[in-house]
Chains A and B, each alone.
Chain A
Amino acid sequence: MAPILDIKNLYKNYGSVEILKDINVAIEPGDFLVLVGPSGCGKSTLLNCIAGLEPITSGSIGIGGRDMTEVSPKDRDIAMVFQSYALYPTMSVAKNITFGMKVRGVDAATQEKKLNEVAQQLQIEPLLQRRPGQLSGGQRQRVAMGRALVRDPKLFLFDEPLSNLDAKLRVEMRTEIKKLHHNLNATMVYVTHDQIEAMTLATKIVVLKGGIVQQIGSPAEIYNKPANLFVADFMGSPAMNLIPARAKANGSGTKIEIERAGAAPLVLTDTHAKDLPEDVILGLRPEDIAEAGFRAGEDVQEADCLIDMVEPAGADTYVVSQLGGKQVTARLHAETNARSGETLPLAFDLSKVSYFAPESGERLN
């Protein structure tokens, strides 16, 4: 199937400052694309470029198989939900939702019909005659979504739509957006700085930093095989442990040595890794370091580690140990006997390990 959104070699400059550099992204109908990155990485600018609200410096944007690079926002067959909701303050909810149709000259009967459909879908029927100022944050959010839904566009664009809501409502609305995506089988592009939102919603994630795409992939790919140190550190909470280590070829595999202050180095043997440089950064997620005996598999290796800190978090207990000069977090089961100041045998699951080059930060395996 032809990609519904096709961005090719997109560059965006403000004066001499490059905001976006050589962006190439394509998504299929039904995809949920999340643009994620720290603030100032250009993700909202990219979304504005897709909407046509910001002109691009070079490259092309195709929507639904048509080149839309020079097309004005209203003719791109898109709908957009903004961070501040951007509801028209002097219009009632119903007028807010039908404004686009009114501008386009849709007849009153169709407007009414679509309004009722959407109002029912989002359960905002009792609010239709109110002004935006009389609504709560969550209700405004729904109205903003309603305004997008009535358009029935090829592409939905969301610009951090949940960041103004409190934590509980945010989780609720997140689920609701996911449901909406599923029910409508719509194609959506969603900007967020919250990596959990990205993981839960996306079928495809683009990680951006400084206007450059760091990695494009499914949530599982991004999570399990981060392309570089930035992605490894940014995605996942608590963050991936990134431990400086030395690699030595050892038969068909590699011996990994990790320095420890006041103790012999921790030595692990990775039977799969090959051709690693001597200095590497070893990346392991907290859940891939378990208490010895609780993780089985041929790549699981155990070693005694001194526990510095124990942090019970209800469902899990996190323990922190000092390895290679870094705080390393391991996620243990809740009933662990770990005590701070004591040693505990930990199991390292090397089937999940990532190696990065310390200089470039690129992934090595």
Chain B
Amino acid sequence: MTDIALTTAHSPSRNWGRIALRWLLFTLLGLFALFYLMPLFVMVTTSLKSLEEIRTGSLVAFPREVTFEAWRTAWSGACTGIQCEGLRPYFWNSVILAIPAVLISTILGALNGYVIAQWKFKGANLIFSLMLFGCFIPFQVVLLPMARTLGIMGIAGTIPGLIFVHVIYGIGFTTLFFRNYYVTIPQELVKAAKVDGAGFFRIFWSIFLPLSLPIIVVTVIWQFTQIWNDFLFGVSFSQAGTQPVTVALNNIVNSTTGVKEYNVDMAAAIIAALPTLLVYVVAGKYFIRGLTAGSVKG
């Protein structure tokens, strides 16, 4: 029996079939990858061309003459309405908006998840369900109440106001992530630490936080992407001067008069997308690992 099985497994026709299948698979995957990369390719090449070349050349052609002029304009010279300072001030707005918002919402989510998963109290599940519900409320629904709230708090149109909005909106997701991660950690750990004399924050700091790297990475990537790419809150709750980069990008693209500077638009779009791209490249492998961490016991 085994002899027959072995010979069929190594028969040349079966091997050819397998190799052909594999090539087919890789070719298909390659084609899909190219298809996905196409827009990026067009963006990068266009941003490196001069306006003249764009007008005369083909969309998918390589630039005949590489110029970074469009990038310089996009960064520091393009006009967003009446001001012509480029993306730079708005990019920094986004940075000082996203970093605190990501940190605060992650810390709050970690604490919430820790309480809900490990310090069970009456109504903990109800509160968790309500927070989950918060994840699924469409952005548009909260616009008006949020505007009122920000007005009453006196932070309407400011960057702290935007940070506040993003923290509130992010807590649902960050709590979900941390709760699902911490719920896999045996409750006896908290008990042992209690007997050892550690309190609520000591247990969190010394035992749970050191275990949390994978889920922290997931949460940070998720929150950073959400907050950096947000347009609706940015356009609704900011004023001239506090607008995030996404709003500025829109203004650059939509407020030009006369000839459309495609190269500047493309460069600006790439600049606006770079930070999220960077975060994925640096922490992407932790992201995948963190997403699956809940199911595998460390």
Contacts and interface: CB of A to CB of B under 8 A. Distances in A.
A133 B211 CA distance: 13
Contact of B195 (A51, A83, A84, A133): A51
A103 B196 contact: yes
* Most A CB within 10 A of own CB, among B191, B194, B197: B197
Contacts of A91: 206, 210
Nearest to B197: A74
A149 interface: no
Contact of A88 (B189, B194, B195, B298): B189
A104 B197 CA distance: 7
A162 interface: no
A interface, over-half SS: mixed
B196 A82 contact: no
Contacts of B193: 88, 99
A48 B195 CA distance: 11
Interface string B197-224: 1100010001100110000000000000
Given A80-B192, A82-B191, A90 B197 contact: no
B188 interface: yes
A78 B192 CA distance: 11
Nearest to A103: B197
A65 interface: no
Interface residues of B, number: 17
B138 interface: no
A78 B191 CA distance: 12
A86 B189 contact: yes
Contacts of B197: 74, 100, 103-104
Interface in A79-103: 79-80, 82-84, 86-91, 99-100, 103
A53 B186 contact: no
B186 A84 contact: yes
B194 A73 contact: yes
Nearest to B186: A84
B168 to A, nearest CB: 31
B195 A103 contact: no
The 6 lowest CB-CB distance pairs between A and B, nearest first, are: A74-B197, A100-B196, A86-B192, A86-B188, A90-B210, A82-B188
Interface of B: 186, 188-189, 191-198, 202, 206-207, 210-211, 298
15 contacts: A48-B191, A51-B195, A73-B194, A74-B198, A82-B188, A86-B188, A86-B191, A88-B189, A89-B211, A90-B210, A99-B196, A100-B195, A103-B197, A133-B298, A147-B196
